[in-house]
Structure 1
């Protein structure tokens, strides 16, 4: 199939399959999947200057579908997501400014790459350790609940930040928490996303769980809600620069729409610790991909 915007011919079935695979992962784990979709799109023949913008457009559509399904399942805390955005946007800008300063010094790719590897590896190993501990607790105590945390001290300490105004997050099951704690988590994920050049899903989902105490299923759905907005903003920015092939994005979304629905529904059949354990492999895979790129 000929795509006139990028001036390339690509088998649409390949693009739909890429969208489907990334859609399942996004719907199940609450991530954008750019770490996987980007290289696969480039391999399929999408020009490198169109990969990021087109992936963001595809990510926006996929996240809308997945977030709607998760909301129907009761897994989206809109109040939490909206408050996080207040911190995410300035955080992204601060991260981008930090990148510009590093570029003036030099060696920015090595610094960003190694920071990315360190953070992803830390997230992957910590999540694997905590989720395995939670699985053992659930089995030993014969608990029937969906959500068990292997470590609760971090979220407990964040609740001690009692700077008004305080807010109740009914969907997340949080009786009272400072708005500033939520904005701070949003700013932290935005800063890292702007600095590392990633969507933030890898970072946001664990922080929602471990720092704020949000249940895993709600963290997944709320993360997708935020990705929907941030990816939409990024799509408009790249489209104004002429870096989005909307036809490729729509072709990918034919598969992503189905995959996102499947991934979202699948979360009903897995407990929080199992979802977190499976999620722990994604940051580790992404870290390996970054290391391979740096080595090459």
Structure 2
């Protein structure tokens, strides 16, 4: 019951900032509840498939999702995420802790630079060919990182959507939830085939995060933009620090 309640509170935050939350789930499962890192990776990534489905639907109803761009990036990420999960089993547990933590901290730094030191685009002026080429590259890279290190790469996806695909902050938040759906399915399948998904633990994580993500997505349009920016940056940073501890 403690795990479910913890995941519900986390789900509210993840739905609010448009993140699948695998990195934070991994940090909590390993640091607070003592699960092995590979089991935490596989279970959290598999759980994201359901968590993001709830959050993405809520963001879609709030008109925060670009369906076309989300589909391009998401389908590209599906295959690379599966491949990344297969590669993760060859990384030692101790190293995997540091790699995952480094990914989360780096993503927080990247979002800090983008959100506070530059202006966001108000209109997408890219040509169709540019949308496809940039979308595929973003999908392949973020999917590979997500599969290998068990994180949904939400900050990297948001950064790609903001800079290279020129979406607004709120559109990037909502579209990221859609992109993480195929990423988590592909990566989750990879970990399932390697035997690193705990069914009972997965159910507890799902109950909490799905309910929380749906509630949290309702607050994205209501929150002041500075609050949303701080939350987007602070979430991966805190998760990374927890893993280092």
Tell me the TM-score normalized by structure 1.
Answer: 0.68
What is aligned with 1:151? 119
Distance across 2 between alignment mates of 1:96 and 1:115: 18
Contact 2:18 2:177 (C-alpha < 8 Å) held by counterparts: yes
The 4+ residue runs of structure 1 with deviation greater than 4 A are 89-101, 107-115, 194-197
Q: CA deviation at 1:66?
A: 0.9
Q: Is the 8 A contact 2:69 2:131 kept in 1?
A: no
Cα deviation, 1:241-280, whole Å, max 9, x if unaligned, reads 3322223222222222221112100112024443123212
Q: Is the 8 A contact 1:92 1:195 kept in 2?
A: yes
CA distance in 2, matches of 1:196, 1:129: 27
Contact 2:23–2:236 (CA under 8 A) maintained in structure 1: no
Q: What residue in structure 1 maps to residue 71 of structure 2?
A: 82
Q: Give matches, 1:27-42, under 5 Å.
A: 27-42=15-30
For residues 89 and 44 of structure 2, what CA distance do their matches in structure 1 show? 23
How many Å apart are 1:121 and its aligned residue? 4.9
User: 1:178 and 2:166 equivalent?
Assistant: no
Long gaps (5+) in structure 2:
none
- The structural deviation recorded for 1:186 is 2.1
1:119 pairs with one of 89, 93, 106: 106
Q: Whole-Å Cα distance in 1 between the matches of residues 24 and 192 of structure 2?
A: 21
**In structure 2, what is the Cα distance between the partners aligned to 1:116 and 1:46?**
20
Counterpart secondary structure, 2:218: helix
Taking only aligned residues, the RMSD between alpha carbons, in angstroms, comes to 3.5
Which residue of 1 is the match for residue 7 of structure 2? 19
- Where does structure 1 lack aligned partners over 5 or more consecutive residues? 1-12, 131-149, 168-176
| Superimposed CA distance per residue, residues 138-175 of structure 1 (whole angstroms, 9 cap, x where no aligned partner) | xxxxxxxxxxxx4258x99x956x5xxx27xxxxxxxx
Which position in structure 1 is the counterpart of 2:159?
206
Hey, what's the Cα distance between the residues in 2 that align with 1:217 and 1:123? 17
Deviations 1:19-41 (A, max 9, x none): 21221122111112222211322
Higher helix share: 2
For residues 87-166 of structure 1, the aligned pairs below 5 Å read 87-89=76-78, 91-92=80-81, 112=99, 116=103, 119-127=106-114, 129-130=116-117, 150-152=118-120, 159=125, 162=127, 166=128
**Normalised TM-score (structure 2):** 0.80
In 1, Cα distance between the equivalents of 2:89 and 2:206?
33
What is the alpha-carbon distance in structure 2 between the residues aligned to residue 47 and residue 111 of structure 1?
14
Q: CA deviation at 1:183?
A: 1.9
Aligned partner of 1:139 in structure 2 is: none
Larger Rg: 1
Say if 1:203 and 1:239 are closer, same or farther in 2 by CA, change over 3 A: same
Higher percent of residues as strand: 1
Alignment check: 8 A CA contact 1:16 1:254 kept:
yes
Given that residues 22 and 256 in structure 1 are in contact (C-alpha distance below 8 angstroms), is that contact kept between their aligned partners in structure 2? yes
